[in-house]
């Protein structure tokens, strides 16, 4: 085969590969990011500041954002259009399930679209009150807590729950049973049993600090807790679970980053669920943390009507990489009371994974996870690529669906 023939084969293959993503290329520009919606967000921001009598300086102050969270219909309807029926539903559901939205996150909502992916995550919805399937604690956190404020499901790692507070109470929250009506950060005294438990378990090498949102602790409280963990010899790494990059990026301040930079190795996982959440402010927050030496990962929740679409998920993963956040997990939504309308079939998650593997770079591919009930741990759910295994061969299905037998000899 001469050079010209080889080049012709290569060109034909390149054209074939291009056709594999033609469907995505046809729609990707219509899947809008927060950058694309910058004008709408700016207009919403101006309306919110006017209604709350705030300034640009206020907007950048995370404490102002927290004290001005939107918790009433009057303020909400100044930002988005609400029908009389919607207002009645929000009022009714709010009596059972708390809701609260940071002004920043509210600015990301399309005021005209009741099915806006930001709005669906933030505003109480009629299907919350007709859920007859969900459970308050499907993860069994209350039976996997060997010490106060600890959740332990694995041999070498555990969770410390430090607060019930968040900038926004997501409608799909897995811990809505803990939200209550009063925001409470755990005190040093209440966290001491958790630290004592970790000290007594030399096998624990990885500690995740979460809540609520771990960054709702003050800088000094978080510094104290991380220092305590730094002083436990067998704790190798710490992780912070936070959605602040998405719902309140202003929490990422120079002072916070400076403090966190003294506690390496430290990792942060966040939760972007839709490309519309990726804004200039979120990108700046990510950049500040990265410059402080903190790797960032993303744990998307697969949510019906928000991101249960292969093209939306691919766009999200691509946009995350552009702001240097690694797609880490796609979590299958949990059957929590009042949230089951978000749950998809597992087959949908598998189909999304089929449309990622091979169709985009490995860096852009998270792991699809199903949490086994009652705290039995994360289980990867993967498309099946192994067809059969012989003594010295393996038959596989490629990302394109081709079935191929490969050699697998024993070279020992």
pLDDT tens for residues 33-75?
999 999 999 999 999 999 999 999 999 999 999 999 999 999 9
Q: What is the mean pLDDT of residues 325-332?
A: 97
Q: What is the mean pLDDT of residues 73-99?
A: 93
Q: Has residue 22 got a pLDDT over 80?
A: yes
pLDDT for the residue numbered 379: 93
Q: Identify the structural domains of the chain with CATH numbers, from first to last.
A: 38-115 (no CATH), 141-380 (3.20.20.70), 384-412 (no CATH)
User: What tokens were used for 251?
Assistant: 């929490």
Note the pTM of the prediction, 2 decimals.
Answer: 0.95
pLDDT for the residue numbered 367: 97
CB contact at 8 A, 324 and 290: yes
Chain-centroid distance of CA 59 in Å reads 23
Q: pLDDT category, 118, cuts 50, 70, 90? A: very high
Residue count of the chain: 412
CB contact at 8 A, 135 and 176: no
Task: Return the sign of the alpha-carbon dihedral for residues 248, 71, 64, 107.
Answer: positive
CA–CA distance from 403 to each of 157, 281, 386, 387, 388 (Å)? 39, 46, 9, 8, 10
Q: Has residue 258 got a pLDDT over 90?
A: yes
Q: Which segments of 21-133 does DSSP mark as H helices, in order?
A: 22-27, 38-52, 56-59, 62-67, 73-76, 84-94, 103-106, 117-122
Cα–Cα distance, 118 to 33 (Å, whole number)? 11
The residue written with tokens 């985009």 in the block is 360
Mean pLDDT of the chain: 95
Q: What is the mean pLDDT of residues 88-105?
A: 94
Q: What is the mean pLDDT of residues 222-251?
A: 98
The residue written with tokens 């309140």 in the block is 248
pLDDT for the residue numbered 54: 97
CB contact at 8 A, 248 and 66: yes
More confident residue, 182 or 186: 186
Q: Has residue 160 got a pLDDT over 90?
A: yes
For the chain, the farthest-separated pair of C-alpha atoms sits apart, in whole angstroms, at 77
CB burial of residue 53 (10 Å; 0-12, 13-18, 19+): exposed
The residue written with tokens 């995350």 in the block is 320
Report pLDDT digits (tens) over 372-391: 887 788 999 999 999 999 98
Q: Has residue 139 got a pLDDT over 90?
A: no
Provide the 10 A C-beta neighbour count for residue 400.
10
pLDDT for the residue numbered 131: 81
Q: Has residue 83 got a pLDDT over 90?
A: yes
Reduced to 3 states (helix: H, G, I; strand: E, B; else coil), residue 83 is coil
Report pLDDT digits (tens) over 284-327: 999 999 999 999 999 999 999 999 999 999 999 999 999 999 99
Q: What is the mean pLDDT of residues 87-104?
A: 94
pLDDT for the residue numbered 374: 76
Strands 393-397 and 403-407, by their bridges, are: antiparallel
Of 322, 298, 401, the closest CA to residue 358 belongs to: 401
More confident residue, 178 or 330: 330
CB contact at 8 A, 163 and 216: yes
Sheet with 386-389: list strands edge to edge: 386-389, 393-397, 403-407
pLDDT for the residue numbered 136: 78
CB contact at 8 A, 102 and 65: yes
User: What tokens were used for 85?
Assistant: 């029926």
Cα–Cα distance, 207 to 198 (Å, whole number)? 9
Q: pLDDT category, 177, cuts 50, 70, 90? A: confident
Q: Has residue 217 got a pLDDT over 80?
A: yes
Beta bridge partners of 327: 298
Cβ-Cβ contacts under 8 Å for 388 (sequence gap 6 or more): 394, 395
- pLDDT exceeding 90 applies to what percent of the chain? 87
Q: Has residue 197 got a pLDDT over 90?
A: yes
Beta bridge partners of 87: none
Report pLDDT digits (tens) over 339-369: 999 999 999 999 999 999 999 999 999 999 9
- Is residue 265 reached through a cis peptide bond, with omega within 30 degrees of 0 on the bond before it? yes
Q: pLDDT category, 109, cuts 50, 70, 90? A: very high
Q: Which segments of 305-363 does DSSP mark as H helices, in order?
A: 310-322, 346-354
C-alpha dihedral (316, 318, 320, 321), degrees to nearest 10: 170
Q: What are phi and psi of 187, to 5 degrees?
A: -85, 165
pLDDT for the residue numbered 5: 92
- pLDDT exceeding 70 applies to what percent of the chain? 100
């Amino acid at each position: 085969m001469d050079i010209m023939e080889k080049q012709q084969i290569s060109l034909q293959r390149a054209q074939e590969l291009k056709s594999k993503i033609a469907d995505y290329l046809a729609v990707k520009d219509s899947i809008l990011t927060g950058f694309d919606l910058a004008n709408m967000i700016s207009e919403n921001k101006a309306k919110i500041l006017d209604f709350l009598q705030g300034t640009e300086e206020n907007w950048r102050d995370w404490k102002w954002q927290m004290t001005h969270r939107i918790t009433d219909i009057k303020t909400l309807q100044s930002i988005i259009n609400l029908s009389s029926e919607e207002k009645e539903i929000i009022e009714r559901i709010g009596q059972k399930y708390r809701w609260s939205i940071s002004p920043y996150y509210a600015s990301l909502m399309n005021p005209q679209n009741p099915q806006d992916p930001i709005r669906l995550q933030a505003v109480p919805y009629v299907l919350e009150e007709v859920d007859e399937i969900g459970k308050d604690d499907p993860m069994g956190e209350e039976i996997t807590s060997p010490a106060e404020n600890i959740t332990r499901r694995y041999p070498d790692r555990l969770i410390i729950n430090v607060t019930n507070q968040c900038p926004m109470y997501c409608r799909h929250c897995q811990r809505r049973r803990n939200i209550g009506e009063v925001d409470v950060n755990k005190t040093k005294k209440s966290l001491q049993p958790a630290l004592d438990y970790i000290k007594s378990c030399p096998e624990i090498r990885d500690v995740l600090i979460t809540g609520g949102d771990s960054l709702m602790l003050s800088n000094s409280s978080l510094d104290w807790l991380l220092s305590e963990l730094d002083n436990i010899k067998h704790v190798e790494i710490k992780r912070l679970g936070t959605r602040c990059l998405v719902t309140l990026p202003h929490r990422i301040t120079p002072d916070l980053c400076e403090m966190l930079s003294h506690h390496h190795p430290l990792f942060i996982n966040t939760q972007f669920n839709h490309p519309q959440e990726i804004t200039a402010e979120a990108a700046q927050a990510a950049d500040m943390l990265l410059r402080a030496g903190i790797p960032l990962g993303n744990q998307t929740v697969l949510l019906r009507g928000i991101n249960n679409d292969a093209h939306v998920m691919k766009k999200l993963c691509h946009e995350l990489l552009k702001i240097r956040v690694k797609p880490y997990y796609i979590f299958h939504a949990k059957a929590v009371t009042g949230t089951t309308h978000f749950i998809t079939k597992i087959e949908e998650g598998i189909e999304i994974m089929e449309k990622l593997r091979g169709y985009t770079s490995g860096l852009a591919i998270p792991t699809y996870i199903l949490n086994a009930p009652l705290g039995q741990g994360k289980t990867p759910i993967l498309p099946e690529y192994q067809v059969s295994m012989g003594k010295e061969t393996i038959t596989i299905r490629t990302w394109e669906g081709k079935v191929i037998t490969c050699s697998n000899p024993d070279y020992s």
